[in-house]
């Protein structure tokens, strides 16, 4: 029906105050809304403050609206914030009308749940029938009563490709480290009887430095490794896990001093 009215007779109340991707205002700003086209004749009032984390999305919507030529009034220009939450007196009215036997405050931080429960007590809700829940806590309801009934496991479940829950914090930490500082692989071949090195060390890197431009650094790394391996042979250290650990620590300290980077270091020892 809005097509039947001139622009100066229309006020549209719409979603999108936080720059949500599929909200009406965001689609209007990008010219993708099927019913409403923003024009230079329009005045847009965004009567909300950006929630922390949404600033970039809100700024983009404002910029897109201004590129069309519309006038935009937002929180930095005027004090126009309107709360989307009920005030305490409205909550009291709602609870008084509904007269709940059991009351479960929801939405907000724990301190806000407490405040909401205090409001319920003021209008006659039995404190024993108020349940403040946390993630994983189970409230069992039936036709006779409501009661707490233990807990269930909760937390983040990582979905990666076809795998659900098989990617944990350690895997994510390794991926982040690989993306930031890269990978260095040390390859050694050792005699299974004497424990002496018969080939290597060879050093491979991915995502750390461009090898052709850092040949001197790579040679210094190899020289350091050879010296360390000679030290192992003199001390008759043949335990693979010990050798890997010591090589990793020595190389990590050296690389950080030289480059201020902390790549993942993987020593690989082959036996002949």
Q: What are the boundaries of each domain within the chain?
A: 2-73, 88-151, 169-271
CA distance 135 to 139: 11
Give the closest residue to 15 by CA, choosing from 39, 38, 48, 43. 48
Indicate the helix (H) or strand (E) that contains 151. Answer: strand 146-151
pLDDT value of residue 161: 63
Give residues with Cβ within 8 angstroms of 29, minimum separation 6. 16, 38, 60, 61, 64, 65, 68
| CB-count burial class (<10 Å; 0-12, 13-18, 19+) for 14 | middle
Q: 179-196, pLDDT tens digit by residue?
A: 777 888 888 787 766 667
Annotate 24-86 with DSSP letters as a single string: HHHHHHTT--SS----TT-EEE--SPPPTT-HHHHHHHHHHHHHHT-EEE-TTTS-----SS-
Query: Is the model's pLDDT at 125 over the cut of 80?
Result: yes
pLDDT value of residue 179: 75
pLDDT value of residue 23: 93
Q: 31-86, pLDDT tens digit by residue?
A: 999 889 999 999 999 988 888 888 999 999 999 999 999 999 998 888 888 777 88
Highest CATH level, class, for 169-271: alpha beta
Kindly give the pairing relationship between strand 264-271 and strand 183-190.
parallel
Any bridge partners for residue 119, and if so which?
A: none
Q: 103-120, pLDDT tens digit by residue?
A: 999 888 899 999 999 999
The CATH code that applies to domain 2-73 is 3.40.50.10710
């Amino acid at each position: 029906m809005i097509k039947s009215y001139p622009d100066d007779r229309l006020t549209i109340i719409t979603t999108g105050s936080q720059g949500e991707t599929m909200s009406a205002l965001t689609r209007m700003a990008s010219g993708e809304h099927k019913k409403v086209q923003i024009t230079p004749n329009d005045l847009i009032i965004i009567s909300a403050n950006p929630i922390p984390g949404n600033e970039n999305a809100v700024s983009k919507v404002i910029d897109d609206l201004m590129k069309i030529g519309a006038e935009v009034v937002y929180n930095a220009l005027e004090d126009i914030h309107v709360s989307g939450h009920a005030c305490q007196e409205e909550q009291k009215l709602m609870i008084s009308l509904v007269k709940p036997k059991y009351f479960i405050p929801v939405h907000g931080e724990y301190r806000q749940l407490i405040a909401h429960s205090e409001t319920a007590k003021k209008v006659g809700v039995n404190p024993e029938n108020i349940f403040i829940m946390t993630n994983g806590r189970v409230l069992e309801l039936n036709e006779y009563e409501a009661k707490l009934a233990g807990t269930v496991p909760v937390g983040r479940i990582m979905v990666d490709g076809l795998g659900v829950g098989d990617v944990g914090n350690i895997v994510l930490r390794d991926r982040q480290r690989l993306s930031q500082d890269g990978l260095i692989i040390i390859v050694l071949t050792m005699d299974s009887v004497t424990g002496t090195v018969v080939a290597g060390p060879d050093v491979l890197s991915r995502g750390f430095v461009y090898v052709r431009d850092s040949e001197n650094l790579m040679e210094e790394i190899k020289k350091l490794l050879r010296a360390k391996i000679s030290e192992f042979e003199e001390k008759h250290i043949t335990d693979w896990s010990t050798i890997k650990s010591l090589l990793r620590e020595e190389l990590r300290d050296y690389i950080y001093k030289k480059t201020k980077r902390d790549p993942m270091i993987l020593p690989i020892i082959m036996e002949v």
